[in-house]
């Protein structure tokens, strides 16, 4: 399945990224400038926030998407080994190479140690994961309260990236690429399933989330902590009343580069009255936007 290059779109989107960073001199520690946005006794609702605990097969972090060893690597930062495990995402991988590998990794259960080395991109800079799919990487679902508000922190190093929060009404089963229609199509084809429905029409894939919002990391060659300006209210607006589960999706895309992430925190905080207004307008383009 071919995709049209989205270079200009990626550039325009990256220009929207706004800096929300505060420095973090101590790995694994919250920067003091961020403590005002987080109660001192706040409990992190996200399991395995620092990617330290291994999953059952030992080839990735528990409570997170299984890395493929090509685009996503569960590794350490050679320049900051005291951080322990971190997530490295390489978006400079050709989409054709990733699409050939993912069925082997996620359907045939090939080991991440068998992952191919990235092929040279050469002049095909628009045919990469960074230009077409983005390096999506998701957490497990997190139960939330009705009317609750939540703040997310994340440590990052590398070019600007996005951090999404998706909301769901029910606890749905999660699987690789479950919010990526093009990837679901690739896996469907690899399983030999029909690509047409009973009426002879192409099978359609629908987004499963009922709520979506995001904030951006501003980009730095040093580890910094990023957050958003307002608490998330996934139960506050007219189409999100029934949302009871959220998940975090780390999403770097353009430029084709290597991105690093660590220490993802999700804390319940005091609601923001303006943000919680069911009739609130969508004036916060990059901080609190609801998909309708």
Residue 196 pLDDT:
86
> By percentage, how much of the chain surpasses pLDDT 90?
61
Which of 2-16, 17-31, 86-100 bottoms out in mean pLDDT, i.e. has the lowest?
17-31
Residue 4 pLDDT:
44
Separation of alpha carbons 66 and 149, rounded Å: 28
Question: pLDDT (tens digit, 9 = 90+) per residue, 135-145?
Answer: 999 999 999 98
User: First vs last Cα of the chain: how many Å apart?
Assistant: 28
CATH 2.60.120.260 describes domain 7-269: yes
Location of structure tokens 């609190």 = 288
pLDDT at residue 172 greater than cutoff 80:
yes
pLDDT at residue 291 greater than cutoff 50:
no
* Domain extent listing, the chain: 7-269
Residue 42 pLDDT:
74
**If pLDDT is split at 50, 70 and 90, which confidence band does 21 have?**
very low
Angle at 269 between CA 265 and CA 271, to 5 degrees: 140
pLDDT at residue 84 greater than cutoff 80:
yes
**What DSSP assignment string belongs to 57-106?**
TSSSBTTBPPP-SSSEEEEE-TT-GGG-EEEEEE--SBHHHHHHHHHHHH
Residue 229 pLDDT:
82
Instruction: Kindly state the tokens that stand for 161.
Output: 């990236």
Residue 203 pLDDT:
87
User: For residue 69, which of 88, 50, 44 has the smallest C-alpha distance?
Assistant: 88
Q: Are 225 and 216 in contact (CB under 8 A)?
A: no
Edge-to-edge strand list for the sheet holding 258-269 = 21-23, 220-227, 149-158, 258-269, 85-90, 72-76
Residue 276 pLDDT:
65
pTM over 0.75: yes
Angle at 34 between CA 33 and CA 38, to 5 degrees: 140
DSSP 16: H
pLDDT at residue 235 greater than cutoff 60:
yes
Instruction: Kindly state the tokens that stand for 54.
Output: 């291994």
Pick 214 or 275 by higher pLDDT.
214
Burial 56-78 (b: 16+ CB within 10 A, else e): eeebbbebbbbbbbbbbbbeebe
Q: How far is CA 121 from CA 54, 161, 187, in A?
A: 32, 21, 24
pLDDT at residue 260 greater than cutoff 70:
yes
pLDDT at residue 50 greater than cutoff 60:
yes
Location of structure tokens 């958003």 = 228
Residue 99 pLDDT:
98
Residue 125 pLDDT:
97
Which of 1-15, 19-33, 41-55 bottoms out in mean pLDDT, i.e. has the lowest?
19-33
Q: Are 224 and 263 in contact (CB under 8 A)?
A: no
Residue 161 pLDDT:
97
Mean pLDDT, residues 78-93 taken together: 97
Question: pLDDT (tens digit, 9 = 90+) per residue, 179-201?
Answer: 999 999 999 999 999 988 888 88
Residue 41 pLDDT:
63
Pick 240 or 152 by higher pLDDT.
152
Taking all residues of the chain, what is their mean pLDDT, rounded to a whole number?
Answer: 82
Which are the contacts of 115, defined by CB distance < 8 A and separation ≥ 6? Answer: 68, 69, 70, 101, 105
């Amino acid at each position: 399945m071919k995709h049209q290059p989205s270079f200009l779109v990626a550039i325009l989107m990256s220009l929207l990224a706004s800096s929300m960073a505060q420095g973090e001199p101590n790995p694994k520690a919250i920067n003091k400038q961020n403590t005002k946005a987080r109660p001192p006794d706040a409990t992190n609702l996200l399991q395995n926030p620092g990617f330290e605990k291994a999953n059952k097969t030992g080839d990735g972090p528990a409570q997170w998407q299984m890395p493929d060893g090509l685009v996503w690597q569960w590794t350490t930062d050679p320049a900051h080994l005291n951080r322990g495990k971190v997530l490295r995402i390489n978006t400079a991988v050709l989409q054709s190479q990733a699409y050939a590998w993912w069925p082997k990794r996620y359907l045939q259960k090939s080991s991440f140690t068998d992952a191919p080395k990235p092929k040279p991109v050469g002049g095909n800079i628009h045919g990469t994961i960074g230009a077409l799919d983005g390096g999506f990487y998701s957490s497990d679902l997190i139960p939330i309260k009705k009317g609750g508000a939540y703040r997310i922190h994340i440590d990052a190093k590398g070019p600007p990236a996005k951090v999404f929060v998706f909301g769901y009404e029910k606890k749905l089963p999660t699987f690789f690429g479950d919010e990526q229609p093009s990837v679901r199509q690739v896996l469907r084809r690899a399983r030999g399933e029909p690509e047409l429905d009973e009426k002879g029409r192409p099978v359609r894939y629908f987004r499963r989330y009922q709520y979506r919002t995001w904030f951006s990391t501003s980009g730095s060659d040093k580890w910094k902590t990023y957050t958003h300006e307002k608490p998330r209210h996934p139960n506050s607006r007219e189409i999100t009343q029934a949302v009871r589960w959220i998940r975090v999706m780390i999403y770097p895309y353009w430029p084709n580069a290597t991105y690093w992430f660590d220490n993802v925190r999700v804390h319940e905080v005091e609601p923001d009255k303006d943000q919680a207004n069911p009739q609130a307008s969508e004036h916060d383009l990059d901080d609190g936007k609801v998909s309708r």
